A = this chain, B = another copy of it.
Amino acid sequence: MKSTEITIETGHRSVVADITDEVRSFCSGEGDGLVSVFVPHATAGIAIFETGAGSDVDVLNAIDDLLPRDGDRWRHEHGTPGHGRDHVLPAFVAPSITIPVIDGQPQLGTWQSVVLIDTNVDNQSRRIRLSFIAG
- The interface of chain A, by Cβ under 8 A from chain B, is 1, 3, 32-34, 36, 38-42, 47-50, 53-55, 57-59, 61-63, 66-67, 73-78, 84, 87-88, 90-100, 102, 107-109, 111-112, 117, 129, 131-135
In contact, A112 and B49 (Cβ under 8 angstroms): no
- Classify the secondary structure of A's interface with B: mixed
- This protein's copies in its complex: 3
Find out whether the CB atom of A100 lies under 8 angstroms from the CB atom of B62: no
- Contacts A47-B90, A55-B87, A62-B91: A3 and B109 contacting too (C-beta < 8 A)? no
C-alpha gap A121/B3 in the complex (Å): 39
Q: Give the residue of B48, B62, B91, B109 whose beta carbon is less than 8 angstroms from that of A67.
A: B62
Q: Which 3 A-B pairs have the closest CB atoms?
A: A1-B135, A54-B75, A40-B109
Minimum Cβ distance to chain B for residue A9 (Å): 18
B100–A97 touching, CB < 8 Å: no
The answer to whether B96 and A93 touch across the interface, beta carbons within 8 angstroms, is: no
Given known pairs A34-B36, A50-B42, the reply for A75 and B55 (CB within 8 Å) is yes
A107 to B5, CA, bound (A): 11
Residues of B within 8 A of A94 (CB): 47-48, 94, 97
